[in-house]
Amino acid sequence: MHHAGRVERLLGLATLACLATCTAAEPANSAPRPTLVVPHATIVPLVTAAADDPAWAAAVVIPALHQAYNHEGPSVVAPATTVKALWTAEALYLRCQAVDDEIYTPKDQRDADLYDGDVFEVFLDPTGDGHVVYEIGAAPNGAVYDTATLVTAAPVYNEALALDWNFVGRDVWFQRGWNLDGLRSAASRTAAGWTIDVVIPAKGLLRRLGSEQFIANQDLRANVLRYDWPKSPEGKRAHLHLDWSPIAAGRPHISAAALGTFHLAP
């Protein structure tokens, strides 16, 4: 999904502390970080990607994801994408609904590089300090991946709020073999494209907080993304990077400093 080999793709780091102390020039990515107020679910989603699941009527909606601010290449209209969110003490529930003329999913194995095709991604930093960041991905073919990235020193960022590559090579550890127990997703095709539901259990994410449940008024540093791979008339695929909290194209795995916030409402 990003650079060659994607350097184990899981580098979503960047510490809030560094944002306060970093002395770099005004970042190129200076857009404000968004906050999403996520309601508590009164009806627990079924996680079936079914259009008639009543739980989603109460969800908060991100009405659109936008093309990365440093997009290069031909100007295109970002395909319509909405994301819905709910929470319970046990889990965070997300639904992505995407308009897609052609579903492209070249990989279907657990923990494969699903970002080489159409995918919905979630980045979460529950403690907000950038030292452990989780990435969850789900594809329209039902495949999922989960990774955890560990940062063992005070992060060093560049002007785009991404980790410096020298720092990455020295102090970032990619836990590609990490699995989030209880992670589930479901996908369905629609007349316009696809729908993906994801349930992300609190247990396993909140270990550093000494907790196994989400609580009201908790803040989770977060971002959601969609990758689309439309084909040109010549048969070449373009890489469209769509995000909620603005980041540099192709670098969400090293841009945790640019995460927004999910606020879990009572």
Give the domain CATH number at 254.
2.60.40.1190
Q: What is the pLDDT of residues 71-80, one digit of tens each?
A: 666 567 789 9
Q: What is the pLDDT of residues 235-244, one digit of tens each?
A: 889 889 999 9
C-alpha dist (Å) from residue 132 to 208, 209, 224, 254: 9, 12, 17, 12
Structure tokens at 140: 């329209």
AA letter at 115 = Y
Domain that holds residue 53: 4-264
Structure tokens at 185: 């997703």
Domain tally, the chain: 1
Q: What is residue 204's predicted lDDT score, i.e. its pLDDT?
A: 92
| Nearest CA-CA partner of 96 in 206, 200, 250 | 200
At 48 the three-state DSSP class reads: coil
Report H helices in the chain. 16-21, 165-171
Measured CA to CA, the distance from residue 91 to residue 106 in angstroms comes to: 29
Model-level pTM greater than 0.85?
A: yes
